[in-house]
Amino acid sequence: MNDPQRHFLRHVLATVAYRGRKAIADAPDGFAEFRGGDASRSPGEILAHIGDLFDWALSLVRGAQAWHDSPPLEWPREVARFFDVLKAFDDYLASDQPLAAPAERLFQGPLADALTHVGQLTLLRRLAGAPIRAENYYAADVAAGRVGPDQAVPTREW
């Protein structure tokens, strides 16, 4: 695959996987239902929404746009779905199938939204009393195609 836009999108997906795994791994019991405020989404609802974003992104690149609001699954199943939808989208981007949506719009829409929501999960971890360690993400070993739960060990945490 020599398309630089597709490669960039795959790197963004790998970044979502890396940061997302850090935000959801070893979450304390009850984290899925924690709320930062009365009107805020729970982590389980946010993770379900992220799954919906990548299902939507996949429908966009296939040229058959479809949106679904999924109710959250139990936490371990929702975590598995997170990585499954990332892999499905990454597999499509790695293929020679045409993109029926511009890469720039995919980034500005579902991908940037997913990054925002991963940040919300990170903030909610802190509010729930289970913060993740800060990290120099520029130094992180993020690689296009690595979108599963097995991510590189952080190199510069504090």
Q: How far is CA 89 from its chain centroid?
A: 11
85-114 per-position pLDDT tens digit:
999 999 999 999 999 999 999 999 999 999
pLDDT at 55: 98
Average pLDDT, the chain: 97
58-84 core/surface letters (b: 16 or more CB in 10 A; e: else)? bbbbeeeeeeeeeebbebeebbebbbe
Q: What is the pLDDT of residues 51-62, one digit of tens each?
A: 999 999 999 999
Whether residue 66 is predicted with pLDDT greater than 80 in this model: the reply is: yes
- Indicate whether 153 pLDDT > 70: yes
The CATH homologous superfamily for domain 4-139 is dinb family like domain (1.20.120.450)
Res. 1: pLDDT tops 80: no
